[in-house]
Structure formats: C-alpha cells, structure tokens
C-alpha cells in the first residue's frame, strides 16, 4: 500500500483541513441558530469560554490551512504546464481535464469557481470567530450582530461546500499525483 507525496498532501488539504472546517462550521451554524430560541442562555465557566474560544480559533485556522495548502502547494501541481511532446497528461491535471470536452467543465466551472470562492470561507469565519468571542455574553442583546454572524457563517459553510465538492470531483477525474512514493503497508514494488 503506497501513496505519493502529492496525493498525501492533497488528502491532508481536503480530508483534514477542509472536512474538519466544513463539519465545524456546520456545528457552529446549528449552535447559532439554536441559541436564538433559548430562553436562558448557558453561562459558561471561564474554562468553558476559553475552550469555546479555542474551538473558534481552531475552525478559522483550519479554514486558512485549507486555502493556503490548496493555493500554494496543490494548485501549482494542478496547473503545471507539460513540456513539449508530452502525451501522458497524468501529472498535469488541468491539461488532462481540458483535453476532453467531457471533462473540461470540471476545470472551467469547478476549479475556476473553487479557487476563488474558497477564500471567502476563512475570511468570513475569522470575522465570525472574532465577533462571537467578543460579544459572546451580550449576543442576545445584539440581534443584528447575531444575524450578520449567522449569515457569514452560512456563507462560509456554502463556500467551503462548493470548494469541497469540486475538489473531490476534480481529484476523481484528474487526481493530483507525483512526487516521492510513501510506502504504508505490505511489499513495496
């Protein structure tokens, strides 16, 4: 059982940073919506507030880790230009997708949208984390702040969802491969 370095980094980008971000933002949206209907909001201990703050910082950090690894590690591999005469495009995913009319859309719509909209997620989530941390104890008294925070959290969820969906589909039709091979289990060839 082996995996290439590029495939492993792509896995970390999508399945660790991206998936964690999606799940955590979803949980946050549910909690924010739920808190609007609570008569007596829960009062946390100082340790509880500290853990909540840590969670929010962690969510935002995962969002940033996802976009930064995506843009500066994986995207250069994706958009690499094949040298003249190369016919096997397996190491050049963008060109592989664009070489066929049946897969070109995954680049033209999928990657073109994903590469930009993904950045909205950590920007929105950083704002959400900051505002919740600062106004945690008085959020009920600021309904407009709650509305904005919920809207931006939903947008972060949607943006990450779009990026995650297209990331998975792109990796299905033109997987990121190459680099050194990491042997995980069994006999290496």
Partner 1 sequence: MNHSQPQSEDSTPRQGGEHLPNGPAGAAILSAGAGCAVLGILAVAGDASKAVAKLLTFYLPTGPLSGVSSLAILVWLVTWFILAKRWRAKTVALAKINATAFLLLALGILLTFPPFADFLQGK
Identity of the residue, 46 or 186, whose beta carbon is nearer to partner 1 in the bound complex:
46
Count residues binding partner 1 (CB under 8 A): 35
CA gap 80, 101 in Å, rounded: 20
Q: Scanning residues 67 to 106, which ones bind partner 1 (CB under 8 A)?
A: 67, 71-72, 75-76, 79
Identity of the residue, 140 or 183, whose beta carbon is nearer to partner 1 in the bound complex:
140
Task: Provide the minimum distance between the beta carbon of 186 and partner 1 in the complex, in angstroms, as a whole number.
Answer: 34
Identity of the residue, 55 or 113, whose beta carbon is nearer to partner 1 in the bound complex:
113
Three-state secondary structure along the chain? CEEEHHHHHHHHHHHHHHHHHHHHHHHHHHHHHHHCCCCCCCCCCHHHHHHHHHHHHHHHHHHHHHHHHHHHHHHHHHCCCCCCCCCCCCCCHHHHHHCCCCCHHHHHHHHHHHHHHCCHHHHHHHHHHHHHHHHHHHHHHCHHHHHHHHHHHHHHHHHHHHHHHHHHHHHHHCCCCCCCEEECCCCCC
Taking CB under 8 A as the rule, does residue 32 contact partner 1? no
- For 56, the enclosing helix (H) or strand (E) is helix 46-69
Taking CB under 8 A as the rule, does residue 124 contact partner 1? yes
Identity of the residue, 7 or 77, whose beta carbon is nearer to partner 1 in the bound complex:
77
Task: Provide the minimum distance between the beta carbon of 177 and partner 1 in the complex, in angstroms, as a whole number.
Answer: 17
Taking CB under 8 A as the rule, does residue 39 contact partner 1? no
CA gap 133, 74 in Å, rounded: 32
Site pattern 152..171 for partner 1 (x: CB under 8 A): x--x---x------------
Taking CB under 8 A as the rule, does residue 3 contact partner 1? no
Residues that bind partner 1 (CB under 8 A): 67, 71-72, 75-76, 79, 108-109, 112-113, 115-117, 119-120, 123-124, 126-127, 130-131, 134-135, 137-138, 141-142, 144-145, 147-148, 151-152, 155, 159
């Amino acid at each position: 059982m082996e995996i290439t370095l590029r495939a492993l980094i792509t896995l970390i980008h999508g399945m660790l940073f991206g998936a964690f971000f999606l799940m955590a933002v979803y949980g946050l949206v549910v909690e924010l919506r739920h808190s609007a209907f609570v008569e007596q909001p829960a009062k946390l201990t100082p340790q509880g507030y500290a853990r909540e703050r840590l969670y929010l910082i962690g969510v935002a950090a995962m969002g940033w880790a996802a976009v930064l690894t995506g843009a500066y590690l994986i995207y250069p591999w994706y958009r690499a230009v094949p040298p003249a005469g190369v016919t096997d495009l397996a190491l050049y995913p963008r060109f592989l997708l664009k070489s066929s009319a049946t897969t070109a859309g995954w680049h033209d719509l999928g990657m073109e949208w994903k590469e930009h909209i993904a950045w909205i997620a950590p920007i929105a989530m950083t704002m959400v984390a900051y505002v919740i941390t600062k106004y945690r104890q008085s959020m009920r008294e600021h309904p407009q702040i709650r509305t904005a925070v919920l809207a931006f959290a939903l947008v972060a969820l949607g943006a990450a969802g779009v990026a995650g969906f297209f990331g998975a589909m792109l990796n299905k039709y033109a997987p990121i491969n190459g680099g050194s091979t990491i042997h995980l289990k069994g006999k290496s060839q």
